[in-house]
A and B are shown apart, each in its own frame.
Chain A
């Protein structure tokens, strides 16, 4: 269908984006690859020397590495689960006829606009603080012992904070998808006497499948690199309970200023992220091509 001319025009139109991204990827990546083979601490200039694969060896055998790997998966998985389940429920709720729908929608999407650093600071200091936080006051009025969220459920607390930020995004996309659902189909099912749960399972959910995949893809990209929330609230601790891969690489590069080790960690993180990416793409591809 497309002519030869339009094909080359298309290529021309795509190329700036491709070239720029290629440069953005290749230049830092090759430098990172190069640094990762050096013994290179920023605080000791002039001492760079070939280190072979020892940086990789140290990064991969670091006991914190497997914790970080697990934490990364738990964090991404936890937030995805909460935002998708919560998002679907909220979308269904907001799709009902009600008074003041516009205002509610405004309230619900608000957290998406908040800077990660700000939201982490607010949650940590004003809500989760076991002495002066709002949750502590709430627990005390209920006659309970204040719960120390960040010490005793650190990962849960971080998942909660991050979910709060991303729930609006999931809800918005799912709501848009909901609104395109043919309401006659639902009404017909209702006439036939299908119970609400069945209607949800066989009509609403399949309809939302594409939207859910999109939410998973976009959020995963951002969730893999969650960082500010951890730095502000727990510094990756206690122990390594909230150290994810990004934080581990940060600790190497900017606490130890070990550029070699940090670069090796960066390369490992890129490889792992791309494995996740390929996996996701497969899933998305299947779901979006249909």
Chain B
């Protein structure tokens, strides 16, 4: 059989779009508002589970029997409802976490969000009645698959669906960040004290940004879960958060289009390193130690992170310079 690049690239494209949405959310937190969120994966997980539970056929229904499943909650609602609930779940969790921690200063915020994501992960692993714990649910509906859209065409359909969703949200996010609200966010980021002295309720503004970013990550969770057709807490590990950070930093924090682009670079890079074994010399190492080359991939990802921060602190598409924000040099990375 031939090499089918197109189906493979379709898959990667869909995944990159989903990561784009995660990056857009984190960009609202960090890029625009300067909040160090190290628990982004929790919002992703909240959205994924919310959407899965909303759309799964109810226990006891005929569809449930047919799947031979054993989950305990399912509402059988259509996908748009699942996506809306995912946004609500991601946003609500962000609101909850944000309410306790957005007032913390940078390092404390980073660790507090990291810790909250772990608590949430613990919750998802343990509350089996809700999530099936570490056993996971592998029968999440993929709407229209096999009925309206043939199985072989489904990946293209889903790519299109994801693309429309993500670009619509990109457009909305861009509108938001270019609005007066966006200016307040950047004001908080650059100098919170100044923003406050101008009469802005900065904790409230931060909380709003945190919630919106969480909602975007929640929608990403919904797109992800119906894309994979399974949901499992094993997916929602801190590594995901760091990958989204990498996408934001590579693309250019504070630039919505930049971080979307960053997510594409991330996925391209992550997946192209799967081909490392094809490099003639390296496959010898695999013969001696099968984990050599796969671990090398992660060494390279680590080096990439280090190199980007050191040599290309503004990313591929840096934030555009805005004269209205005063003359101070960008305080973040230079």
Q: Do A and B bind each other?
A: no
Q: Which residues of B contact A (CB under 8 A)?
A: none
Q: Which residues of A contact B (CB under 8 A)?
A: none
